[in-house]
Structure 1
Amino acid sequence: MRLGRLDRTIESLLELHCRIGLGSIRSVRAVQITGPRTAEIIEVEIPPLKPGDVRVKLQKTCLCGSDIPYFGYDQQRLSDEGKRSPYGHVTYEHEKVYPLPVGLSLHECVGVVEESASNRFNEGDFVLGLPFHQYGFFEYLTLPENRVFSLPESPVSKEELLLTQPFGTLLYAWRKMPDVVGKTVVVLGQGPIGLMFNALLKKKGAAAVIGIDRLQYRLETGRVVGADYTINATETDILEAVSELTGGVLADIVIEAIGHAELAINEAIELVRVDGVLFAFGVVDYNYRDHYALGKAFMKNMTIHHSVGAKDAGDFLEAARMIAEQEVDLKPLLTHSLPFDEAQRAYELFVDRQDGSIKVVIDFEK
């Protein structure tokens, strides 16, 4: 009789453990950048769920160009020189900048709901999670429900749906984009964002998409995903090349998609025709910059738009739909996949553009 009670007690405890799930786990692994170009795996306590929160067990994540400064730059030296990041991700409360905040920097994340205190999500749902301030390099993310988005069942891979986050930022930017039908558009920079712009521009009806980059392997991918012409900036004068392709008129629209490049916007200004449009999308590192070609932009009477991030759930949901229904093919961007334990190597591959890397996935399921 006593043994029967014990069996029932053990069974009840096992059921409770399964129901509670991660609530019984006190720590998870995370990545922390502890110095320039140094990423270490540490253990941290997991926060409790609050009403409306969702706990996501990450499956696939991906590095973005906006992650580059936190791994690739010496943030201590920049702080000492008065060149602090304008985005608020790095804390400057103390004299020593390192180590950087735990989880910085990663923000393209998909996984499954492990626990939910939200009536909008259930355990096992496949979702996109948006970390705060790019603090996303954890095995599990605990997020409010408004930063979690359901992803559709789809014949495409999880890695492709992972691109919902960056592609969603393009759709948000598109609200400011003029009509591209029949237009000649230059995409300056053929990194992940520039390549996504190639694909979106062709879908939206651009007559000619001209991709420009310094790396030949990126230009080759640019052709695959939508560029009609490509120009290698290390081999050709890009102004002469664009002028030749457009009969001397230059581009109707130029999208600056390089990012983290001092005065890349000046190159973009050179390529815009009179009364044309410059779309500045590439992330900048500082609030102020000398030698900006304001006079040239002014005399060309051009319109300049800026866009960063995405603020509407609809943009991410539409991005997920377009990828899932294969309206755009972004699979050629997915060049590398490494396990979580190789976070250091993943950063190096991406930041240094090694081995033909474009999008580097960190796979938590490996």
Structure 2
Amino acid sequence: MKAARILPPKQFEISEIDFPSPVNENESLVKLESWSICGSDIRDAYGPLFSEENYPMRWGSHCHEAVGTILNSNSTEYPKGQRVIVLPSPFADNSEAVPGRGGGLLAEYVIGDHSRMIKIPEHGNPEDWVMCQPSGTVLYACQLMGTILGKNIMILGQGAIGLSFTAICSRQVLEK
């Protein structure tokens, strides 16, 4: 399968690597269909933010927002064919860093930990569903922000996050 990783800053390598395999009943093999590159992914890729010994980075780094379909699962809750939003599992020192498990999601296939997957319906485009994670982050930030009714606000930037803030805040009664 193909997977990518960051070599030194500003350089990506795309190579054929071994397919990852689920190791327990809480993991599934997921074929990814759509990815979103986050602002933090760009910052990490175009650093340099990390010391030299961190390169090359783990396979799949740094993408952490993706949508796919489960290909192999021993779970009735997350069966084969289920579409999911996948979030990578944190890296554990004693585990092999493979895409999805200790690595990022910039790969054709990843290991999905069921506690870090969200089921999505069969309908709709993966390109639309992949925006749920960043938009959910914005929605959470808006909840923490409290009421903006009757206030003036400014949203700087109209990337994915800025557009999500604009969409949510424009539905409020704002002064400006």
**TM-score, normalising length: structure 1:** 0.42
Q: Work out the CA distance in 1 between the residues paired with 2:130 and 2:58.
A: 24
Mapped to 1, the partners of 2:157 and 2:75 lie a distance apart of: 41
Partners of 1:72 and 1:176 lie apart in 2 by 30
Q: Output the CA distance in 1 between the equivalents of 2:154 and 2:175.
A: 8
Alignment of 1:4-153 (within 5 A): 28-49=1-22, 50-75=24-49, 79=51, 96-133=53-90, 135-153=104-122
The one-letter amino acid of 2:112's match is L
Alpha-carbon offset, residue 153 of structure 1: 4.1
- Note the aligned Cα RMSD (angstroms): 1.9
- Supply the AA of the counterpart residue of 2:83: F
1:1-366 correspondence runs (5 A): 28-49=1-22, 50-75=24-49, 79=51, 96-133=53-90, 135-154=104-123, 156-203=124-171, 205-208=172-175
What percent identity do the matched residue pairs reach?
A: 34
Matched residue type, 2:3:
A
Aligned partners of 2:140 and 2:29: how far apart in 1? 26
How far, CA to CA, are the matches of 1:122 and 1:42 in structure 2? 29
Answer yes or no: is the 8 Å Cα contact 1:53–1:116 preserved in 2: yes
CA contact (8 A) 2:30 2:71 kept: yes
The answer as to whether partners of 2:41 and 2:63 remain within 8 angstroms in 1 is yes
C-alpha distance in 2, partners of 1:67/1:178? 28
| AA partner of residue 138 (structure 1) | A
Q: Is the 8 A contact 2:20 2:109 kept in 1?
A: no
**Alignment-mate amino acid for residue 142 of structure 2:** W
Counterpart residue type for residue 202 of structure 1: S
Q: Which has the higher helix share?
A: 1
- Offset of 1:70 from its aligned partner? 2.3
In the alignment, the residues of structure 1 paired with residue 76 and residue 140 of structure 2 have an alpha-carbon distance, to the nearest angstrom, of 27
Give CA deviations for 1:180-209 in whole Å, capped at 9, x if unaligned: 223221112222211110001122x14145
Cα offsets for 1:190-230 (capped at 9, x unmatched): 22211110001122x14145xxxxxxxxxxxxxxxxxxxxx
TM-score, normalising length: structure 2:
0.83
Q: 1:174 to 1:118 in 2, by over 3 A?
A: farther
Structure 1, unpaired ranges of 5+: 1-27, 80-94, 210-366
Report if the CA contact (8 A) 1:52-1:119 is conserved.
Answer: no
Instruction: Summarize deviations over 1:294-332 as a string: whole Å, max 9, x none.
Output: xxxxxxxxxxxxxxxxxxxxxxxxxxxxxxxxxxxxxxx
Counterpart residue type for residue 144 of structure 1: D
Q: Secondary structure at the match of 1:45?
A: coil
Structure of greater Rg = 1
Question: Structure 2: how far apart are the matches of 1:96 and 1:48?
Answer: 27
Task: Give the Å deviation of 1:55.
Answer: 1.4
SS in 1 for 2:135: helix
Distance 2:39 2:7 in 1: 19
Give the total of aligned pairs: 163
Which secondary structure state, in structure 1, belongs to the residue aligned with residue 170 of structure 2? Answer: helix
Query: Which structure ranks higher in relative contact order (CA pairs < 8 Å, sequence separation ≥ 6)?
Result: 2
